[in-house]
Amino acid sequence: MKKPGEYAALYRSLAKEWKWLFRHASGYRLQIFLYIVIGISGTLMGIGSTVASKYLIDSVVSHNEKTIISSAAFAVGLGLLQILVTSATSRVATVVGSKISNEIRSNVYEHVVYADWEEISKYHSGDLLNRIEGDVSAISSSIISFIPSVFTRVTQFVGCLAVVLYYDPVMALFAFMSAPFLALTSKISAKMMRKYNKESREMNGKILSFYSESIQNIQTIKAFGITNRYVNQLRDYLFVYRKMRLDHGKFSIIMTMCLSVIGLAVSYLCYGWGVWRLWQGAITYGTMTLFLQISGQLTSSFSSIVSLLPTSISIATAAGRIMEITELDEENTDNAAEVEELEPLARDKGVYLNCDNLTYSYKDGKTPVVKDISFYVNPGETVALVGPSGEGKTTILRLILGLVRPQQGRMTMAVADGRKTEVSASTRRFCSYVPQENAVFAGSIAENLRMVNPEATDDELIYVLKTADAWSFIEKLPLGIHTVINEKGVNFSEGQIQRISIARAILKNSPVLVMDEATSALDAETEQKVLANIMQSYPNRTCVITTHRPSMLQYCDRVYRVDEDGNLTQTNK
């Protein structure tokens, strides 16, 4: 059982999440206001139609021909108008809802790609996809439907209450007999709904992550003969997810049954009271019909208002998961203007890279990955980082690329006239990158290359492919550079993918080239040819490479070794 303090914390959290939602909804004030106006109009027409039916019935019973036609026309007119209003409401919801959904998706995606690399890398891609799609859908629908529904349901409740009080205040008392129970159940539902939504969304994200990772690595799964293990693992996840849904469904059914019994009892009391009043001759048949309809609407509208709390919790849970992403620190681009000023000279004369007494440790690590390291690379030079796997070489490349920032010391890029700037996300425009892992995208070879230079001509693509010694196999393909690369590049060898990645980096034509084990899948002869071509293609290029292959070192001006303690020392080739 939750203590009062726990409920207070829950409601504080909900208030924070709804404040975030209202901030996003503020951009759609006009649309939401229109939706509210249309919704309230439709609700009032529904109540008016119910009242009109009373006078129609009384006219029929009393054989008053004068009022029959007018009452019937009024009731039918309100009914038709209500249909039009409902259709308009649906159209507004579709148009505005789709716009809001797209804009929030775009906003969340921007936060993902611009977030600090170390922060966002903690989240699995499947979990991020679940937040961008599932949680955003819940939020976008809430902005255009939930917020206006609060006004329409309150309007319906107040309108029905006013009608009942006008004709018979005792009937209103009967209709409110379920209020204490509804208030109690809403508090219980709030607790259960919060728990269920959080757990189910997390589990759904885990399942999507499992799908994503297993499908991307299906070749490895098949090669190890562990297909059955993965199938069984998915079944286990789905079983847990199904159990969550069944437990929540059981709770919902019990609550619904209790509410239905209470509602039925209230309806019978209202019905009995109406029959009694009719028996006494205190009301007409029309008023009796009105009581039956309006009391049901009063009870249901009150139930709807109470049910807004669990619904708001579900929406707030989704908002909280999105807030978690949107509140991540963004990459540092404070020196963007400074970098832009340096760019012309950097591209013309090259870039000086300097690292001075730099120390870095990941946020979830206890000891530094690299400690008090210093090195430099001048334009036209190539420097190699060597050492055992997992000792910090790739981390140094991430520092150069501005993906992470040091806790101590500094890394700078300078140009020929002596001006310099701190390495950051902004200086990444000076860099081309060839990653160690497979980093091609589904699409044609040309599309993969033009990612870094959309204006490149076919001749320029062919030139960089020749430089990377990739044209020799691509020109033999039926579609040449327009050949489609399947997901993860499964229709090409690892060596071919590496050469396409190298060609892409060359096409960017940046003054700094960063290569992370970029020729590990190439034979010695191809590696020698590719490296020689790279050096010739941009004489002033500053190159930093990591490698385990001694053959690479003959092309390097200096070699630095990273040891297991994160120290960096210059060594012989």
Residue with tokens 């120390």: 359
- Judged by DSSP in three states, 386 sits in strand
Angle, helices 285-326/65-114, rounded to nearest 10 degrees? 10
Say how many CA atoms lie within 13 Å of 33 toward its Cβ: 5
Number of H helices, E strands in the chain: 19, 12
Instruction: Look at residue 410 in the predicted model and tell me its pLDDT.
Output: 92
Q: Are residue 170 and residue 79 in the same domain, yes or no?
A: yes
C-alpha 323/C-alpha 16 separation (Å) is 10
In-domain check, residue 110:
yes
Q: Are residue 350 and residue 256 in the same domain, yes or no?
A: no
* Beta strand spans in 389-499 (E): 408-414, 420-422, 431-434, 443-444, 484-485
In-domain check, residue 1:
no
C-alpha 377/C-alpha 394 separation (Å) is 17
The pairing of strands 542-546 and 370-377 is unpaired
Q: Are residue 275 and residue 174 in the same domain, yes or no?
A: yes
Instruction: Look at residue 1 in the predicted model and tell me its pLDDT.
Output: 47
State which amino acid sits at residue 115.
Answer: A
In-domain check, residue 135:
yes
Q: Are residue 382 and residue 465 in the same domain, yes or no?
A: yes
Report whether 400 contacts 423 (CB < 8 A). yes
Q: Are residue 92 and residue 225 in the same domain, yes or no?
A: yes
In-domain check, residue 6:
no
Please give the chain's pLDDT, 573 residues, in tens: 445 556 577 677 778 888 888 887 777 788 788 878 888 888 888 888 888 787 777 777 777 777 777 777 777 777 788 788 777 777 777 777 777 778 888 888 888 889 998 888 888 888 888 888 888 887 877 777 788 888 888 888 888 888 877 877 777 677 666 666 666 666 666 667 777 777 887 888 888 888 877 877 777 787 778 888 888 988 998 898 888 888 877 877 777 777 667 767 777 777 778 788 778 878 787 888 887 777 777 777 777 777 777 777 778 888 888 888 888 888 888 899 999 999 999 999 999 999 999 999 988 767 888 899 999 999 999 999 998 877 788 999 999 999 999 989 999 999 999 999 999 999 999 999 998 877 888 889 999 999 999 999 999 999 999 999 999 999 999 999 999 988 878 888 888 998 999 999 999 989 999 998 887 778 777 877 888 888 777 788 899 998 888 877 888 889 999 988 888 898 876
Length of the chain, in residues: 573
Q: Are residue 532 and residue 389 in the same domain, yes or no?
A: yes
DSSP H/E element including 356:
strand 352-360
C-alpha 290/C-alpha 295 separation (Å) is 8
In-domain check, residue 476:
yes
The CB density around residue 505, as the number of other CB atoms within 10 Å, is 23
The pairing of strands 443-444 and 568-571 is unpaired
* Beta strand spans in 62-213 (E): none
Report whether 511 contacts 350 (CB < 8 A). yes
Instruction: Look at residue 56 in the predicted model and tell me its pLDDT.
Output: 77
Beta bridge partners of 352: 414
Angle, helices 29-61/65-114, rounded to nearest 10 degrees? 160
Residue with tokens 């609550």: 255
C-alpha 502/C-alpha 530 separation (Å) is 9
Q: Are residue 278 and residue 375 in the same domain, yes or no?
A: no
Q: Are residue 305 and residue 278 in the same domain, yes or no?
A: yes
- Judged by DSSP in three states, 334 sits in coil
> What's 513-568 look like in SS3?
EEEECCCCCCCHHHHHHHHHHHHHHCCCCEEEEECCCHHHHHHCCEEEEECCCCCE
For the chain, first and last CA: distance in Å?
A: 68
Instruction: Look at residue 40 in the predicted model and tell me its pLDDT.
Output: 86
What pTM value is reported for the model?
Answer: 0.74
Q: Are residue 214 and residue 304 in the same domain, yes or no?
A: yes
Instruction: Look at residue 513 in the predicted model and tell me its pLDDT.
Output: 92
Beta bridge partners of 376: 354
In-domain check, residue 551:
yes
In-domain check, residue 156:
yes
Instruction: Look at residue 6 in the predicted model and tell me its pLDDT.
Output: 60
Boundary of a domain, candidates 301, 326, 351: 326
**What digits encode the pLDDT tens for the residues 141-174?**
777 778 888 888 888 888 888 887 787 777 767 7
Q: Are residue 455 and residue 368 in the same domain, yes or no?
A: yes
Nearest to 416 by CA among 350, 356, 344: 350
Boundary of a domain, candidates 265, 300, 326: 326
CATH value at residue 360: 3.40.50.300
Structural domain for 234, as ranges? 11-326
Q: Are residue 315 and residue 355 in the same domain, yes or no?
A: no
Structure tokens at 131: 């937040």
CA 3 vs. chain centroid, Å, equals 33
Boundary of a domain, candidates 294, 326, 358: 326
CATH value at residue 180: 1.20.1560.10
Q: Are residue 194 and residue 52 in the same domain, yes or no?
A: yes
**What digits encode the pLDDT tens for the residues 436-475?**
877 888 889 999 999 999 999 999 999 999 999 999 999 9
How many structural domains does the chain have? 2
Buried b (16+ CB within 10 A) or exposed e, 26-62: eebeebbebbbebbbbbbbbbbbbbbbbbbbbbbbee
Beta bridge partners of 440: none
Instruction: Look at residue 455 in the predicted model and tell me its pLDDT.
Output: 92
C-alpha 29/C-alpha 144 separation (Å) is 10
In-domain check, residue 4:
no
C-alpha 90/C-alpha 316 separation (Å) is 24
